[in-house]
Structure formats: structure tokens, C-alpha cells
Structure 1
Amino acid sequence: MKPVRRIASLLLALLLVLPLANVSFAAKEKGEPVGGNLIKLGTLEDFEKGTLTNTTASASDVSDGAVRLAEGQTDGEYASQIFEVEPFEYLVASWNAEVPAGTYVEVKARAYVDMKKTWTEWLSWGKWSRDVAERGSANTETELAGVDTDIFTVYGSDGETASLVQLKVVLHSDDPSVTPVLEQVAATYKNTLEGQAIQPSLAYSLYDGQLPEKVEPNCPAISQMVREPSIADVICSATTICTLLNAHGEDLLPEQVALLCYDSNYEGFGNWPFSVAVAGMFGYDAYVQYADFDLLRNELANGNPVGLSVRYSSSQNGSYPYLENGAANNTAGHLITITGYETIDGVEYFYSSDAAAGSDAGCLRRYRADQLDAAWSGRIAYIVHGKQNPSATAIETIEANLVPVAGEADTYRLDTDAVELNSRFRANKLKSAGAGIACLTIDGHDAVADAEKLPVLLKANRMFKYSVSYNPEGTLNFSPERLMGAAEPGETWTFRLYVMTNDGKYIETSLDVTKPAAEETPAPTEAPAATPEAAPAATEEPVAPAAAKDGNGGATAAIIAVAVVLIGAAYLFFRRKKSGR
């Protein structure tokens, strides 16, 4: 009986210890089945299936559904139902939300890891806000999973995957009378394990089961490399979103998008969910999705250019997959816009607007599909569909005039207090709310090279000048005279100033400047005719003064000379005699 008692005692001890252990095993719950690789929630029906805490869901004429803070609340949550999906390793969330000043939304997810038979903790993608200091990703790591900027990864080396997902969105406002508005939350996921790939979900059905053989590129081309010099080489993601939005009818500058999508924790512009969230602020159905070429062709055939995250080398001996005719030399991470496709002589090509080119026209590229396939190995795509809310915008346009400061050359001010153009304006553009970028164009003198090659000409396709400096007292400096070097005297040029802030304010104003006429040198005039009385006597060249000729001066000089000679002779006579010579 002793062995039996010993076993019973061990079992009893184990039962007592298990509740205290930091391990929990949860029975796998039933979830709502989802086909494909995309969860997308944006209707009143979707939101009402979840749990609303201090929040309400409603629909309107411009929205199929949205979640807001309940009246008088400053904090609330929406938690979705649980979804049953195909096993995945990686997941990326994205969202569309309005975030007025003083508000934010924070998207989280948890997943059920099958091999561990338990849920992960809630993991966050950070706070999405207009305040650049608060807007930032939240890198989090736990034993089972972690989020690194934009990717939720199920940890493990034994083929660990998750097959249940739940999403949560936190809504916050500093002011109970103002609320953020969640309009859509989405999640896409993929599995790279052999034989476990997940087929991407298509947003559109095919045209009678077939796609057109060719989609002509008809999309804006915008180079990131000619933008604000301090950020030009790192805003490919923002420039791609700008290109996608402009293709749908907006007229934005890449800097406007860049200032709004900057991630203060990541300290960069390439956060995928943040980038598409900017498109959502303009009222578009925008999300991140793991995609394939079928999805890409499907979107293009329906009039939607697509952003792709790629890495490539434009030379065959480069560090990354070779992409012939690539706009960048070597890039470990880059966003490009795909605008069309075509098969030529049996080879499929995709047309691209690649922002890494040195000019707008240079962005227009054609890439082989097989090479693009290798460059696009991560399969991340930016999807932007038509505008859902016609009045939505992330930009607050402010009317202002540019006024010369009296008594100070090349110094100007804006007649508004909405934007403070002090010496910290540009320096703090990525740190302090309300700071940003200013630049200039000159009407009629701002054409970019090869403009005739561009499919469409927009505001971004002008030649911008960033030679604006700022003063502590809130004025700015630029030199029209220097910029008008080619102007004719008396010619008037129109200077256009653009001011963009990291919280969405925008000023576009102009100033007419006339180049001063050259100072005229007075023509020589003839002297008045001389009269006999007025005419001065002619003078000759100067000569040595003549000897004075007054009275007996000549005779006196002769007598003195003779006396000097006689005295000298007497002196010599007596000296010789004395010396014996």
C-alpha cells in the first residue's frame, strides 16, 4: 500500500501546486471561421458582434459602422469576437481611425498558440495619435509571442503556430467632449512553414473568371529623393502612400504624409500600419495585407495601384535579389508602387512608380515579374480602395498671407498665429507638436525635368526649394533677389510658400515680387557756352618757378661770389705756409 499512498500524495501535491504555477492551459475555444488571410471589421454588424466597454457603435451616411467613446467617457474599449483562422506564424494589424487633437487609439491582439495550448498576452502596436510625441509603436516581447514595430510573431523553433485571433482597440481622449472614431480594424497573417501557406483573400471577384491581359499604368510618379533634404532618403513608405492617395484623387505632398506617419518610438517613417492609417484619415478603405501576384493583378484590374515592401539590388553582384533597372542601387527595405502589368514576348512585367529614382520621371520603371517575385519575398502590400467618406481629411488648411517685414531685407511673416515659424520649427519637426517643414515654388519657373513623360501632373510634380530659414521671433527668411537671377528688371514673379506641420496643419500662400530695375547712370551733359567775362584764362602745363628778378638782385649775387673766392684763396695760402709744404 505504501507505493499507492506515495503516488496519491504526489498527485495531491501536484494539484495543490498547479494553481500557483505561472503556467496556464486553456481549452481551445470555438471561434468564428475566417477563410483566406484577412480579418477586416468595419460595419455596424461587425462591431456589434464584439464587446463594447464605455464605447458605442453606430452607422451613418458616410460610414457603415464606427466605434466612439460613450458620452462623458475618456477611456473605452472595443474587443472583437474570437476568430478561427488557418495556422499562422506572423500577423500584422492595421486600422482606420479619426484621432482629433488630444485623442488616440491603440490596437492590440492576442493569439491562441496550439502547441502550447494557451493564449498569448495582449500585444500592442502602440498609440496612433496626431501628437508626434505620443504617436509611436510599442515593441513588446513575451514568452509566446512579440510585436516588433509592425509584425506580431509567434515564437518557437518547433513549428509553433496560432489558429485563434482576437483584436482589441483602446480609445482615449483627454477631453470627454471629444472622441476618437474607430472606422475599421484589420489583421492579415501568413505561414512560411512548408506546405502550410495561406491563400490571400481577394477583395474583388474576377471579371467573368478572367483578368485583362494588360493594365496600362496611369498613376502619379513622385520621387522621394527631391524632397526635404533631411528626410528625403528615408520616406519611401510615405511617398508610396502619397502616390496611392494622389492616384485616387488627392493632391498631397510626400512631406505631408511623412510628418503624419512618423513613428517616434521606431524613429522612422516605415511603420506599415501607421502608413496606411494616414490613408484611412483621408476617408479611404486602407489596410495592410500579405498578398501574392493574383491579388496584385486583381487590385490593378480594378483600378487600384498597390504598394509593395521590397528589397533588391540593381546590379547582379549586389547584396539582395537582383532587380533589373531598379531605381535604388541596394536596398534592404523599400516601398514601391505597382501601377500596371503586361506580357511582352512571353515575359510578364509589372509597371512601377519607384520613389528611389532621382527625378519624378525617373520613377517610371518596368520590372520583370520573376525578379520582382524574389524582391517581394515578405509579401507585404499596401491596399487603398476608393474614398468612403468624401469629406474626410487629415489636413487642416489655414488661410494666411505672407507679409514682408518692414526694414528687414528678405524677412517675412505669416499673418496667423495658427503656426509658429520660430527657429525650432524645422529642427523639431519630428519631436514637438506643431513643428514641420516649409518650402517654396515659383509659378512658371518650377517645371520638373521631362514633365511631359509623367502620366499626370500634380502639385508634388513641381521643383521645390527648401532654402527657407527661421528666426526666433517667428519670421522666416528667403532671398527672392537671389532666386530671381534669370528675371528681367521690372519682371514680376509669384513665389508660393508651403507650410506643413506634424499635426496636419497646412498653409499655402503666395507673394508677388518685382525685380528692381537696374540703376541708371546719368548721361554726360555739355558745359554751358563760355562768355568772355566768364571764361577762365587758359593755363599751361606747370613749370619750374622762375628766379626772382627784383631790382639789383643779379649784381649783389656776383659781388658775394667774388668775395667767397678771395677768402678761400687766402685761407689756403696761409695753411700751406704753416704746414711747411
Structure 2
Amino acid sequence: MKKGLKSALAIVLVCLIAGIPVQTFARHAKTSGKESDHTYIISSAKEFSTGTLQNVTIHQRPGDGALTLKKLHGGYARDGMFVSPEISTDPFEYLIASWNSDTPVGTHVEIQVRALVQHYNADNEQVKDWSTWRTWGKWGTNIKRSSVSDKSDPLAYVDVDTFTVRGSRGETADKFQIRALLHTDNPQATPTVRLLSASTELGWGTMSQHPTTIKLNKDIETPAYSQMIRDPKIAHSICSPTTITMALNRMGEQLLLEEAALRNYDFDYEGFGNWAFSAALAGSYGYKSYSIFTDLDGLKREIKAGYPVAVSVRYTNDPLNTRYPYVEGAPGTTPGHLILVRGFETIDGQDYVIVNDSFAPSDDTAVRKYKVDQFQKAWSNGVAYSVHSKEKGGAGDSAAKRIHADLRPTSSENEYGLYVGKKKIEIPANFTADVSPLTEQSGTLAYTISDGKKYATDAHKKFYYTHETSDGNISLNVNQLELDLNGKSAKLTLYVLSTTGDNYVATLELNKKHNSH
């Protein structure tokens, strides 16, 4: 029986009701298209050359190879397409796709898959037919990113982030094709696709229960954050972007949790838990990232190679709760959540997995050790993703960046205007409103106040949250903040973070004579 969730992957990332240097996951692509028993990656110029191209050009850089729109008459073609060869697989019921791309303003990509499905016809005979092309929706860092809720095909459908073969009589597929659609509204800009991947599985969660054969004692130091102390309107549901932030900041980025979350938001699913979008977000910063079905040995190979791994879990810390798997030392009870596996350790003969669990009440308590046998039961679907090293040659150059701005006092007390040069940046009405679903005008206004302490990353600092005013300004009670500082000087750093628009950062000196308000 197929999963009837929206989606079996994404729904676990609703999160909290209580709130290739080293071959790891998959061997790299061969010209035949098959790389391992169940995971397939196309990410080099040679691999892209095995497909069919329409208004698309293959380049040696960035990374090991990439696709862009073809230049026609001095500008880029408006639309282009790459179609992979037919890829033979073992029989599968589920497929998760990933992509890494750069999408400058005015561009987006769309990834689609079709599969050859063995099913029963009207005469009750087993036959094979191709499904229609099923889509993961349009994706870009500056657009209204949306998966597509379309179950019109009788053979297969994509539910948010998971391609599922229809049927209840053992229907499976044994071939698939993946294609990338590239689009631009600006003839001087093109999206770039650096990686396409697909991972398949027969039977939901069967791989995660495989016994482990690898012994490993290793912990990868990785920034650990609690999602529970972030912007209150989204804190309960941002486990996936929080986990991505941990992995990216380990690589040297300085992302904030809300910054990643708002760019991870799926406007159709109305949530932050689309796995494909999470991997694509990491890819947009230039990193190689993709999702797969795997087992404990797969996780250990990643850790051994130096990469923490994101996995989805469901658990309870109450041994009397029989609804969810019991995990000793977990922060609470959750029907679906994402954590970052950072290591394995054996203590007195007991095997433990070391994780960053954002369900923790504070950053300081987010690093946890769970017994492996309990963790394995909680990790029931076998889905994981990792963030590998940043690719060279310009990968990630079009990632969403913060624009430096100025805060200027207005005629109203404790209201500040945001300016870039002489241009005032109007903060949209209801920008910080606690609404569901979020809109293209939604965002977060967060700020920190310097306290003389050193932090491992910017995201470890204490954050405060404010709101916009009716005049499109920002409410900052500087009078009270300065009183609270007891005359000490400090720097306020404000972050303006949005779902689709520009992000800004601005500073304000507190308890300085030139501050008039």
C-alpha cells in the first residue's frame, strides 16, 4: 500500500507539534546512467552530454559541468530543456529527485521525472506504460517557489517532493527519465543547473532498517541551533531549514535560521519541509547537495568522509507513549522532525549516534546522543541528505545575499526608515504578520545587540524580533534599549529577511550622541 501523506517526506518536516572526493552516498555517474543500486547522479559535462538538449549549452564549469540556456542573437533563449537517457533500475515504488542550480533574478528551473510503470490494464493484464512527466514545481531563490499538487496521472504522481507509483497490487517502475526545464525572463541572465539526481526505493523505509556492518567512532563538530528560540511565528516548523543552516554554517557560511527558512518555503505545500527545496537551497549557495534513500552504513560513510547528514525522525521521550518510537534523551515528542547526524560513538559497548537536534530548548542543549537501536526505529523512512563541499567556478554566485543598508530616524519616535543610498526601502504591510500561509510579502525583522561575547557563528547570537510600522518603517524602541544598556555603548544589527525579495542588513550605534530619536 502506497503512502497517502502530503508528502511522506515533507509531512514529517511539519516538524514539531509541541512544537566528491570520496565516494559516499552514491558512486558517480557512468555514461550508462546507473551509478549504484538505487541512486543516480548527473553532474559532469560528460554525464550531461549523454542527454538530449534543446536550447541548452553544456559547460565545463561551474563544478564538474553545468547546463545553461543557449545564447541566441546576443541574448539567452527564453526556455531550454535537458532530457536524460532512459535509466534502468531495480523495481521501485518511490523516487526522490534533487537538483543544484543557480537562479539569478528573473530565472527559474523546473525538474520533472517520468517512469515506466508495470501495472494492470482494463483486461487485468500486466502491461508497461510510461507515466506523464511529473513535476517538482518551479524553483528559484527569488520567485514564488511552489510544488505542484497534481494527481491526474493514473500511473504516478509527485506529492510535494516524492514521486510515487500508484496502485495497491504491487505496481512498480523499472525505468525513469529526469529532465530539467530552464527559463529566463531576462535575456541577459540564465539559470545554471549543476546537478540532477534521483534515488529510488521499493517499499517505504525498507533501507533504514538494514543492520550496520561499519564500526565508526567519529564526531564532526557542527554548529548546533535550537529552532524553538527563533521567530515565534515560524519557530515550530523550521526544522529542515534549521538543519540546512547547521550544515552550511559548518562550511563557513553565516546564514541565519530565518534566512534559510524563508527561502525554503514552499508556497503550494505552505510549509518549510520540502526536501527537494532544502537540497536546492544548499545548492544555490554553491554546494553539492542531494537527497537519497539509505541505511546506517550510508550515514556512516558520509560521516567518515566528513559530511554531517540530515535525516527525518519521529519519536517520543516518554516510554509510556506507544504511538511513537521511544528515544531516550530526546527533547520531547514529535510526529515528524529533522535532525542532523554528526557522528557515531561507542560507550561501554553501547552504540550511540551523535546529533544536532533543533527541538532542544536552547542552542547549548541541541547536541544529543541517542542509542543507535532507538534512533534506527525513529528514522523510519530511510531518507537523508548531505551538504558536500562548495563547487568551484562560480557556483553559488547568484545566491540570495544581504544588501547593506542604513537605518535613519524618522519624525516619529522609535521609528526608523531603511535606506540604500538615497532610496528608501519600504517594508510591506503585514511583513511580519503571523499569517498562514505566508505570502510573497512575508518576512522577518530580527536584530542582535553586541554584548562583547564571541560566538562561533552569527546564528548563535541572541535574537530579538520587531515589526513594521504603518508608514513602511521599522519599529525599534531605541529609547528603552539604551536605558537597558545603562549607558554602555553597543551596536544593534538589524536583519530584514524575506521569502522572495531582497534581504538587508543595517547597523545602529546605541548610546552614541549622534543617535537622535
TM-score class normalised by the smaller sequence: 0.7 to 0.9
Output the CA distance in 2 between the equivalents of 1:240 and 1:198: 20
Output the CA distance in 2 between the equivalents of 1:424 and 1:493: 29
**Alignment CA distance shift 1:161-1:274 (3 Å):** same
1:136 counterpart = 2:146: yes
- Corresponding residue of 1:107: 111
1:91 to 84, 88, 95: 95
Q: Secondary structure at the match of 1:276?
A: helix
1:521-554, Cα deviation, whole Å (9 max, x unpaired) = xxxxxxxxxxxxxxxxxxxxxxxxxxxxxxxxxx
1:302-331, Cα deviation, whole Å (9 max, x unpaired) = 11111001111111222211111112x221
Cα deviation, residue 431, structure 1: 4.9
Structure 1 gap segments, 5+ residues each: 1-30, 201-209, 517-581
1:338-365, Cα deviation, whole Å (9 max, x unpaired) = 1111011111101111001111011111
**Alignment CA distance shift 1:390-1:315 (3 Å):** farther
1:352 to 346, 351, 355: 355
**Alignment CA distance shift 1:411-1:311 (3 Å):** same
Output the CA distance in 2 between the equivalents of 1:68 and 1:322: 48
- Corresponding residue of 2:492: 495
Q: CA RMSD in A?
A: 2.5
- Corresponding residue of 1:49: 50
Checking the alignment, whether the CA contact within 8 Å between 2:68 and 2:191 is kept in structure 1 is yes
Q: Secondary structure at the match of 2:459?
A: helix
Q: Structure 1 counterpart of 2:480, which letter?
A: R
Output the CA distance in 2 between the equivalents of 1:503 and 1:32: 35
- Corresponding residue of 2:472: 474
Cα deviation, residue 439, structure 1: 1.0
Checking the alignment, whether the CA contact within 8 Å between 1:212 and 1:301 is kept in structure 2 is no
Greater strand fraction, Structure 1 or Structure 2: 2
**Alignment CA distance shift 1:296-1:258 (3 Å):** same
Output the CA distance in 2 between the equivalents of 1:433 and 1:179: 22
- Corresponding residue of 1:507: 504
Q: How many residue pairs were aligned?
A: 463
Range that drifts further, 432-441 or 168-177: 432-441
Checking the alignment, whether the CA contact within 8 Å between 1:256 and 1:504 is kept in structure 2 is no
Cα deviation, residue 33, structure 1: 4.3
Cα deviation, residue 139, structure 1: 2.3
Question: Where do 1:51-450 residues align within 5 Å?
Answer: 51-60=52-61, 62-71=62-71, 72-115=76-119, 116-133=127-144, 135-141=145-151, 142-192=153-203, 213-318=216-321, 319-327=323-331, 329-389=332-392, 391=394, 392-393=396-397, 394-405=399-410, 407-416=411-420, 417=423, 419-427=425-433, 431-433=438-440, 435-444=442-451
Cα deviation, residue 408, structure 1: 2.3
Q: Secondary structure at the match of 1:189?
A: strand
Q: Secondary structure at the match of 1:398?
A: strand
Output the CA distance in 2 between the equivalents of 1:199 and 1:79: 34
Output the CA distance in 1 between the equivalents of 2:215 and 2:507: 46
**Alignment CA distance shift 1:418-1:368 (3 Å):** farther
Checking the alignment, whether the CA contact within 8 Å between 2:220 and 2:343 is kept in structure 1 is yes
Checking the alignment, whether the CA contact within 8 Å between 1:286 and 1:384 is kept in structure 2 is yes
Checking the alignment, whether the CA contact within 8 Å between 1:77 and 1:169 is kept in structure 2 is yes
Cα deviation, residue 389, structure 1: 3.1
Q: Structure 2 counterpart of 1:184, which letter?
A: L
1:388-446, Cα deviation, whole Å (9 max, x unpaired) = 137525222312121222x421111122247432433323897554652111111017x
Q: Secondary structure at the match of 1:46?
A: helix
1:553-581, Cα deviation, whole Å (9 max, x unpaired) = xxxxxxxxxxxxxxxxxxxxxxxxxxxxx
Q: Structure 1 counterpart of 2:39, which letter?
A: L
TM-score (norm 1): 0.75
Q: Secondary structure at the match of 2:283?
A: helix
Greater helix fraction, Structure 1 or Structure 2: 1
- Corresponding residue of 2:464: 465
Identity, in percent, stands at 37
Output the CA distance in 1 between the equivalents of 2:70 and 2:436: 34
Q: Secondary structure at the match of 1:275?
A: helix
Output the CA distance in 2 between the equivalents of 1:182 and 1:401: 35
Structure 2 gap segments, 5+ residues each: 1-31, 120-126
Cα deviation, residue 515, structure 1: 8.1
1:141-189, Cα deviation, whole Å (9 max, x unpaired) = 2211111101111112222211111101111112222211111110011
Range that drifts further, 312-321 or 74-83: 312-321
Higher relative CO (Cα under 8 Å, sequence separation at least 6) belongs to: 2
Q: Structure 1 counterpart of 2:449, which letter?
A: I
Output the CA distance in 2 between the equivalents of 1:433 and 1:419: 16
Checking the alignment, whether the CA contact within 8 Å between 1:223 and 1:360 is kept in structure 2 is yes
Checking the alignment, whether the CA contact within 8 Å between 2:482 and 2:510 is kept in structure 1 is no
**Alignment CA distance shift 1:226-1:33 (3 Å):** closer
Cα deviation, residue 507, structure 1: 2.4
Cα deviation, residue 100, structure 1: 1.6
Cα deviation, residue 34, structure 1: 4.3
Checking the alignment, whether the CA contact within 8 Å between 2:98 and 2:279 is kept in structure 1 is yes
- Corresponding residue of 2:124: none
**Alignment CA distance shift 1:429-1:97 (3 Å):** farther
Q: Structure 2 counterpart of 1:118, which letter?
A: D
Output the CA distance in 2 between the equivalents of 1:110 and 1:368: 39
Range that drifts further, 427-436 or 143-152: 427-436
TM-score (norm 2): 0.84
Q: Structure 1 counterpart of 2:171, which letter?
A: E
Cα deviation, residue 504, structure 1: 6.2
